[in-house]
């Protein structure tokens, strides 16, 4: 499952990043100082306004996709206190994120040429922040946001935010990783869903019915406001992957447990002993540790789980290939999540600590890479591995009525071929540019929920 293409690219491109970091002029879209964003700006919003009570006074946050803005560019939003018909006007300042915070355009190769960059807009709320309506009004349209209050209290536990499921995810991994995370103490799963094979969807639906995971729609972004859309690239064709960095922030804000993590369906964090939840609680509780960073270990299973046999969980092969770390964060301290490190904390005193553990990062092609094999004592399940293997086989047989479908490499190969063909000066907008090639391989179950992203409604005068 595997975004290995990107992960390898990441390392081979480091010299280019450094070059870009030093020499690439930061192009900003709005250049004059202190300019308010108006209706002519190519922007689309996630439909929720987050009222964040983790700071005092509370802040209002919006998420958007748009070209880079200068830090002093602002949005004006009307917020209505409960019971008051007269709004307060709040000024929100914009920040881009994704791969080296505050570099816009991003310096990460495949994201550099994307026209639309995920942004967050922040503003401090007046009074106690108890508001019931938030609206942006422009001369020709109005954008009303759903209000979501966050950060009032957190319960004990660990929530796993699964990065958007699209094309790649294999059902064999989904079973292994959900079971392993549960055994490691995960109490809740939020799974953003764009597309998958019918088989992978069956497995996700099974776990959703059991109440173990929450599927959240993440459809294509859709069009800009119709009066300006002909003048700009289509959002779905010029945004990195499918705006994965925006999904990551939204998930981290919506977590209701004191600890959270952002992972793919091929990554589980494990400590040297016990469960990762107990380990993180012991290390982090009551301290200013905002994130616990886990080194990344590539792991192969023999037999490969793509033979529909999970016995390989008993004998893991570890390699010494370097891959970027992942982290568990304290939900009440994190401000911005990047993919491999906490981007920003809410307070200056917060720091990151290395964990005594690793990310077990599943690789199906370790043999082809011919990496050096190393000895490590990590395992997926803290105890009773044989029982978990039996359970995974039972689960697979239940879902597929005793005839689990045979694995095909075709979808992965097709997507990797598609990505390899993309020119280096083109935005890697995989969801859009590889759709035709992927639709040619199998029937994908797409989510098509409407209204998740909004450009507002026209005001008829």
Ligand X SMILES: *[C@@H]1O[C@H](CO)[C@@H](O)[C@H](O)[C@H]1NC(C)=O
Contact between 215 and ligand X by CB under 6 A: the answer reads yes
Task: Please select the residue that binds ligand X; options are 259, 299, 337, 412, rule is CB under 6 A.
Answer: 259
Given the complex with ligand X, which of 142 and 384 has the nearer CB atom?
384
Lay out the site mask for ligand X across 399-418 (x = CB under 6 A, - = otherwise): --------------------
Among 72, 128, 227, 383, binds ligand X (CB under 6 A): 383
Region of 122-130, 229-237, 282-290, 398-406 interacting with ligand X (CB under 6 A): 282-290
Q: Are 100 and 50 in contact (CB under 8 A)?
A: no
Binding span for ligand X by CB under 6 A among 78-86, 272-280, 336-344, 369-377: 272-280
Least distance from C-beta 332 to ligand X, angstroms?
5
The token duo for 176 is 């292994």
Give CA 452 to chain center in angstroms.
16
If you compute the radius of gyration of the chain from its CA atoms, what whole number of angstroms results? 22
Using CA atoms, how far apart are residues 119 and 45, in angstroms rounded to an integer? 9
Using CB under 6 A as the criterion, what x/- string covers residues 155-194 for binding ligand X? ----------------------------------------
Q: Which is nearer to ligand X, 57 or 303 (CB)?
A: 303
Beta carbons within 8 Å of 34's beta carbon, 6+ residues apart: 72, 73, 74
Asked if 303 is part of the footprint of ligand X (rule: CB under 6 A), the reply reads yes
Span interacting with ligand X, options 59-67, 142-150, 221-229, 382-390, rule CB under 6 A: 382-390
User: Can you tell me which of 15, 440, 443, 460 binds ligand X, judged by CB under 6 A?
Assistant: 440
**What count of Cα atoms within 13 Å lies in the side-chain half-sphere of residue 328?**
35
CB 128 within 8 A of CB 247: no
448 lines the binding site for ligand X (CB under 6 A): yes
| CB of 28 or CB of 302, closer to ligand X | 302
Half-sphere exposure of 213 (CA within 13 A, CB side): 26
Asked if residue 286 binds ligand X (CB under 6 A), the reply is yes
Stretch that binds ligand X, among 50-58, 145-153, 368-376, 441-449 (CB under 6 A): 441-449
Binding mask 107-136 for ligand X (x = CB under 6 A): ------------------------------
103's tokens: 């570099």
Q: Which is nearer to ligand X, 209 or 423 (CB)?
A: 209
Question: Does residue number 275 form part of the binding site for ligand X (CB under 6 A)?
Answer: yes
217 near ligand X (CB under 6 A): yes
Backbone angles phi, psi at 17, to 5 degrees: -60, -45
| Whole-number Å distance between alpha carbons of 430 and 415 | 8
Contact between residue 21 and residue 107 where contact means Cβ atoms under 8 Å apart: yes
**Contact status: 449 vs ligand X (CB under 6 A):** yes
Residues 6+ apart with CB under 8 A from 334: 252, 260, 290, 291, 342, 344, 345, 346
Dist. CA 279–CA 87, nearest whole Å: 47
- The nearer residue to ligand X, 117 or 392, going by C-beta atoms, is 392
DSSP assignment letter at 10: H
Choose the binding region for ligand X from 65-73, 139-147, 366-374, 436-444 (rule: CB under 6 A).
436-444
Span interacting with ligand X, options 61-69, 125-133, 135-143, 280-288, rule CB under 6 A: 280-288
Task: For the CB of residue 94, give the shortest distance to ligand X in the complex, in Å.
Answer: 27
285-317: string of b/e by CB count within 10 Å (b at 16+)? eeeebbbbbbebbbbbbeebbeebbbbbbeebb
Q: How far is the CB of 381 from ligand X (least distance, A)?
A: 8
Q: Please enumerate in sequence order all residues whose Cβ is within 8 A of that of 125, keeping only pairs 6 or more positions apart, or say none.
A: 51, 57, 58, 59, 60, 79, 90, 131
Residue 457 pairs in a beta bridge with 142
**Token digits for 383?**
């105890």
Our separate counts of H helices and E strands in the chain read: 12, 24
Burial code (b: 16+ CB inside 10 Å, e: under 16) for 390-413 equals ebbbebbeebbeeebeebeeebbe
Pick the binder of ligand X from 131, 251, 284, 301 (CB under 6 A): 284
Angstrom distance (rounded) from CA 293 to CA 296: 10
Under rule CB under 6 A, residue 360 binds ligand X: no
What is the smallest separation between the CB atom of 384 and ligand X, expressed in angstroms? 5
Q: How far is the CB of 248 from ligand X (least distance, A)?
A: 18
* Residue from 40, 128, 356, 397 binding ligand X (CB under 6 A): 356
List the interface residues with ligand X, window 305-344 (CB under 6 A): 309, 311, 330, 332-333
Shortest distance (Å) from residue 275 CB to ligand X: 5
Q: Does 272 bind ligand X (CB under 6 A)?
A: yes
Q: How far apart are CA 273 and CA 178, in angstroms?
A: 19
Note the residues at the interface with ligand X (CB under 6 A): 215, 217, 258-259, 272-273, 275, 281, 284-286, 303, 309, 311, 330, 332-333, 356, 382-384, 436-437, 440, 447-449
């Amino acid at each position: 499952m595997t975004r290995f293409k990107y992960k390898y690219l990441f390392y081979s491109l480091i010299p280019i990043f450094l070059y870009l970091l030093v020499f690439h002029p930061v192009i900003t879209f709005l250049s004059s100082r202190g300019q308010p964003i108006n209706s002519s700006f190519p922007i689309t919003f996630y439909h929720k306004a987050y009222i964040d009570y983790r700071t005092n006074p509370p802040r209002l946050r919006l998420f958007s996709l748009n070209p880079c803005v200068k830090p002093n560019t602002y949005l004006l939003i009307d917020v209505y206190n409960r019971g008051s018909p007269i709004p307060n006007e709040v000024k929100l300042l914009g920040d881009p994120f994704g791969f080296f915070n505050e570099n816009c355009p991003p310096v990460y190769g495949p994201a550099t040429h994307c026209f639309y960059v995920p942004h967050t807009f922040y503003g401090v709320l007046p009074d106690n922040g108890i508001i019931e309506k938030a609206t942006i009004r422009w001369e020709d349209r109005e954008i009303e946001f759903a209000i979501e209050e966050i950060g009032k209290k957190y319960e004990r536990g660990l929530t796993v935010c699964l990065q958007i499921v699209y094309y790649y995810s294999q059902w064999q991994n989904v079973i292994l990783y959900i079971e392993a995370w549960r055994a490691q103490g995960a109490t809740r799963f939020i799974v953003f869903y764009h597309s998958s094979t019918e088989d992978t969807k069956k497995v996700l639906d099974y776990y959703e019915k059991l109440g173990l995971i929450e599927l959240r729609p993440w459809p294509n972004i859709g069009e800009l406001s119709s009066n300006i859309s002909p003048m700009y690239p289509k959002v779905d064709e010029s945004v990195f992957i499918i705006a994965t960095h925006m999904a990551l922030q939204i998930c981290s804000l919506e977590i209701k447990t004191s600890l959270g993590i952002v992972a793919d369906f091929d990554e589980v964090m494990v400590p040297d002993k016990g469960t990762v939840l107990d380990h993180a609680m012991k290390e982090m509780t009551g301290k200013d540790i905002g994130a616990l960073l886990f080194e990344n270990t590539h792991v192969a299973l023999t037999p490969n789980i793509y033979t529909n046999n999970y016995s390989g969980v008993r004998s893991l092969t570890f390699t010494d290939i370097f891959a970027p770390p992942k982290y568990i964060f304290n939900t009440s301290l994190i401000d911005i999540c990047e993919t491999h490190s906490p981007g920003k904390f809410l307070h200056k005193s917060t720091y990151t600590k290395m964990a005594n553990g690793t990310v077990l990062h599943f690789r199906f092609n370790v043999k082809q890479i011919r990496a050096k094999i190393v000895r490590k004592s990590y395992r997926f399940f803290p105890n009773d591995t044989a029982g978990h293997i039996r359970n995974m086989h039972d689960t697979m047989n239940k879902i597929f009525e005793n005839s689990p479908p045979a694995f095909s490499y075709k979808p992965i190969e097709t997507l990797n071929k598609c990505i390899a063909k993309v020119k280096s000066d083109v935005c890697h907008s995989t969801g859009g540019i590889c759709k035709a090639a992927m639709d040619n391989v199998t029937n994908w179950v797409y989510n098509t929920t409407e209204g998740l992203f909004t450009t507002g409604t026209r005001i008829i005068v």
